[in-house]
Structure 1
Amino acid sequence: MPRAYLVRKLKLLLLFCVVFILFYGGNVLRRIIKDHKCSEEESKFLMDELCHNYTTNDAAGNMCPALCSSKKLKYNKCTNYRGGKKVLISQCDEVCEKGRSVVAVIKSKHPKEEFHFEPLDLDKYPNGSLSKAGYGMAYNIFKNMLDSQMLEESEKIQDIFSFLWSLDFEQYKREHRHLKVPEVIAIQNIWGLINQDEYLFMKVYQKHSFVPKMYGTCGYYYVMEFAPPGDILDPQLWTGSHSSFKERAEIAVDILNIVQSLDYGFFEPVHMCDVKAENFGIGKDHQVKILDTDSLFFHTSMLKNLAQPTCSNHDDCDFFDCRGWCEIETGKCTKQRSNNNLQTVCEDILVDKATNFYAGLLHSPPVAYKEELLPLLEECAYPEHSKGTIVRTPTSDDIYWKLHNLLKKIIREA
């Protein structure tokens, strides 16, 4: 059989395989996008349902009147859902920020799908109002949840119910004493909110500049500052970001500051286990914000996530970007993360990566600093020459400060 004929046949076979893979992959991608794409019809229904619950006194919160009565908080559009979380873009006139019209985000885990929790079964009097024991039960449950976020600092909080909500608890009871059991309604609303990890973290840590501002709540929904990733952190496919290196370096420094705060600014380290550039955004104050805190875990909780019952290799012990370590001899995962936040941020955001469509945030540095910056980024992302492997080594604080100081120098001299 002629060689040219075989070559032609092979080329046709390869072409067929490529076309098949592209077609199949395209269909899979379309299904994934469809599954995660939000529905305008459903989103409007959710807002109508929330306002119905407000009129029947089942939903309460400082944002309910603006959303359901004065319409100063207006739903505009939905964005793609993330793991069952509904994220709705809205226009907020004067009630989110006094005298200003701003874009806000309405968020919640869907109460009928991904969001499951048992209503509190508290001790009540025969008329349905909370007994003293019922108040004590609610207080202890809420206090325990607060302790998981704050530890010693929670002792300073006098009114836990009001602290965890958007309204003054006692004032709500007084203003709604015409209702049969206003305290039960209030507590169930708070309970629905604090069962959402993101709400609880962001409510407790509003003092941190990287946490988006929380404007308030209505029912199980919470309203927050709109902080989109923008073109720099979430560039369009193929076109990329057209920002200057100085702009990108400023954002990189902000992200490094967040890493430092998570490592040392809380009662115990906080681990980021889903690190992507689009999980960060830019707020009105031009500071970088964390948009999705569902993948943040305090160290004690992180150890439980890594402690799988058995393992045969290190991959079995991984929890997304938080990588574990398997003791092969015993077949048990060690209760310790093998990489760290800094390593993950450098690998998944700052440097170029073959598996990404986009260049790293710090691509194309100034020629004058290229020879100094690129090896530093390499050491940050792949400590101990671990490039080409799944990195299971933490990046040192020494590298952090060298990188942080160099970027600040580049920004000053740009």
Structure 2
Amino acid sequence: MVAGEVKNTLGLELPNNSIAPLWPARQGPGWRQELASAWSLLQQEEYVYFSLLPDLSRHILPVLGSCGHFYAVEYLAAGSPHHKALFPLDDAGQAQAISHIALSFLDMVSHFDSDFSHRLHLCDVKPENFAIKRDFTVVAIDVDMAFFEPKMREILEQNCTGDEDCNFFDCFSKCDLRVNKCGARRVNSNLQVICDKIFQHWFSSSHRSPAISPQLQLQLQQAVQECAHHGDPSGNSWTASSSVFWKLRWLLQATLKELQEVEK
């Protein structure tokens, strides 16, 4: 029953031993109350994500505890477009912090693409849905609009009269006008949306750091632009994502190296 509920919620099949934490063992006088609480928690998609996925990825917050249908996770300050750097960062060392955070975003993209049995799609990418730990690790704190591949395909495969009908928030598909049906395959990527909505804010001509060489800043700016707007003629950006991913990673590491040299 629990496995079926998880599959229905996440579109993901998991072995029984991995879902054991979601269901109370049948013992003790309070078992029925625990059962009712567990069932109410199972109806909350985010709770299921936070309960099952942190062991597989450090970019998902773990559940610290629950009471009834309430549950607690670590408190972290969310990002906001009102912050100059999108996240609450000190002005001192901000360029270095942003480079670390950008690398963690790339790490998260890699994890969500390959750590699970299916790719995890982020369909609502904005600063408010992420937070930064003290070690600059990016964590997803709002996963209401995160879907594994099977569920994503169900969502995207809708009737359409044009490509605009196939856009589900930040997850896009294309309309097949021969059958007036959206393709089940997403044609943009998590990386592309993060570049568009996060990285372009950081790495643009209006946000230059005197501590980084102009040539490197220009290369990074161009790579972010390429990332945000890339795609192959078929409309599938996953292949293109791989090359721009490694380019961004190399440029961010080079940026950190320059910043660390300045500090010496």
Which residue number in structure 1 is paired with residue 3 of structure 2?
Answer: 143
Match of 2:43 among 195, 199, 212: 195
C-alpha contact 1:213 1:224 (8 A) present in aligned 2: yes
Instruction: Tell me, in whole angstroms, the C-alpha distance in 1 between the residues paired with 2:181 and 2:11.
Output: 31
C-alpha contact 1:210 1:290 (8 A) present in aligned 2: yes
Q: Percent identity?
A: 27
**SS of alignment partner, residue 266 of structure 1:** coil
1:318 aligns with 2:174: no
Alpha-carbon displacement from aligned partner over 1:107-132 (angstroms, at most 9, x marks no partner): xxxxxxxxxxxxxxxxxxxxxxxxxx
Question: 1:349 offset after TM fit, Å?
Answer: 1.1
Instruction: Tell me, in whole angstroms, the C-alpha distance in 1 between the residues paired with 2:182 and 2:7.
Output: 27
1:382 aligns with 2:222: no
Which residue number in structure 2 is paired with residue 336 of structure 1?
Answer: 185
- TM-score scaled by length of structure 1: 0.54
Question: 1:279 offset after TM fit, Å?
Answer: 1.1
1:362 aligns with 2:208: no
Amino acid corresponding to residue 82 of structure 2 in structure 1: Q
**SS of alignment partner, residue 66 of structure 2:** strand
Amino acid corresponding to residue 99 of structure 2 in structure 1: A
Q: How does 1:114-193 map to 2 (within 5 A)?
A: 141-147=1-7, 149=10, 153-157=14-18, 160=20, 163-164=21-22, 169-170=25-26, 173-174=27-28, 177=29, 182-193=30-41
Which residue number in structure 1 is paired with residue 54 of structure 2?
Answer: 206
C-alpha contact 1:234 1:278 (8 A) present in aligned 2: yes
Q: How does 1:45-84 map to 2 (within 5 A)?
A: none
C-alpha contact 1:344 1:381 (8 A) present in aligned 2: yes
**SS of alignment partner, residue 139 of structure 2:** strand
C-alpha contact 2:3 2:16 (8 A) present in aligned 1: no
C-alpha distance 303-150 of structure 1, shift in aligned 2 (>3 A): closer
Rg comparison, structure with higher value: 1
Match of 1:236 among 64, 82, 98: 82
Which residue number in structure 2 is paired with residue 405 of structure 1?
Answer: 250
Instruction: Tell me, in whole angstroms, the C-alpha distance in 1 between the residues paired with 2:152 and 2:215.
Output: 41
Instruction: Tell me, in whole angstroms, the C-alpha distance in 2 between the residues paired with 1:227 and 1:374.
Output: 29
Q: How does 1:270-349 map to 2 (within 5 A)?
A: 270-308=120-158, 310-349=159-198
User: Unpaired segments of 5 or more residues in structure 1?
Assistant: 1-140, 352-359, 387-391
C-alpha distance 224-325 of structure 1, shift in aligned 2 (>3 A): same
Give the superposed CA RMSD.
Answer: 2.5
C-alpha contact 1:245 1:362 (8 A) present in aligned 2: no
**SS of alignment partner, residue 171 of structure 2:** coil
Question: 1:227 offset after TM fit, Å?
Answer: 1.4
Amino acid corresponding to residue 378 of structure 1 in structure 2: Q
Instruction: Tell me, in whole angstroms, the C-alpha distance in 2 between the residues paired with 1:204 and 1:267.
Output: 13
Alignment length (residue pairs): 244
Please identify, of 332-341 and 143-152, the stretch whose mean Cα deviation from structure 2 is larger.
143-152
C-alpha distance 237-293 of structure 1, shift in aligned 2 (>3 A): closer
C-alpha contact 1:150 1:267 (8 A) present in aligned 2: no
User: Unpaired segments of 5 or more residues in structure 2?
Assistant: 260-264
**SS of alignment partner, residue 396 of structure 1:** helix
